[in-house]
Amino acid sequence: MIKILQKKHLLIIGGSAKERHNLISEIITKVNFETFRFPKKMKLLDEYIQHIRKEKLYNSWYTQKGNFGTNQMLDFHWDWVSDSNSLVIIEEYQQMEERWKLELIRIYLQIIDDRKKGQKTIHLIITQQNEDDLMNKLSENVYIRENERRNKRQVVEGSLKVINLKEIGIA
């Protein structure tokens, strides 16, 4: 899984929430990435944004007195995501509001798909109970370049690997 994580994001499904959590903890001990764990069972984009603020997962290219607005902060956060060589973990993602869930993953997938060979990039691990047709939903929402030879499903599968704990004998 560590080798897969070097090239793709991971969606870990199956087993219990504790088994998924324990697997992530094991992965963290074996990789050399700065790790950011989002709160479990986020439901709203506001919870994601609050964690971004708390962890300061954004860097503005200018200084400003006071707080950044939500849109500004998200823009700076996407820049951070694009330039970071960190591991981001979002556990029990099935609770997240569907629209934002798909949008957040789509952005992370796009960053992996757009990176150049050997370029440092963000690494994402998501856990949820079941796949819940997530790959198909992402395939409907992913952007593909004009000259892309792959279809949308292939673009998603090229950036996100589904790991089923039952299939690998953990659950």
Residues of the chain with pLDDT under 50: none
pLDDT at 60: 65
Give the global pTM. Answer: 0.88
**Alpha carbon distance 2, 25 (integer Å):** 12
Q: Which residues pair with 160 in a beta bridge?
A: 9
Percent of the chain as helix, strand, coil, to the nearest 5: 45, 15, 40
Angle 157-162-168 from CA coordinates, rounded to 5°: 140
The Cα 72–Cα 37 span in angstroms is 22
Tell me which amino acid residue 137 is.
K
Q: Give the span between the Cα atoms of 24 and 127, in whole angstroms.
A: 9
Q: What angle do CA 158, 31, 111 make, to 5 degrees?
A: 35
pLDDT at 135: 93
For 161, phi and psi rounded to 5 degrees? Answer: -105, 130
Pair of tokens at residue 62: 């200018």
Q: Which two tokens stand for residue 85?
A: 């060589």
pLDDT of residue 18: 95
Q: What is the reported pLDDT for 118?
A: 64
Q: What are phi and psi of 127, to 5 degrees?
A: -120, 145
pLDDT of 171:
67
Q: What pLDDT score was predicted for residue 144?
A: 79
Residue from 71, 80, 74 nearest 122 by CA = 80
In the prediction, which pLDDT does 19 show? Answer: 96
- Write down the domain spans for the chain: 2-164
Q: Which CATH architecture has domain 2-164?
A: 3-Layer(aba) Sandwich (3.40)
| Per-residue pLDDT, 76 | 82
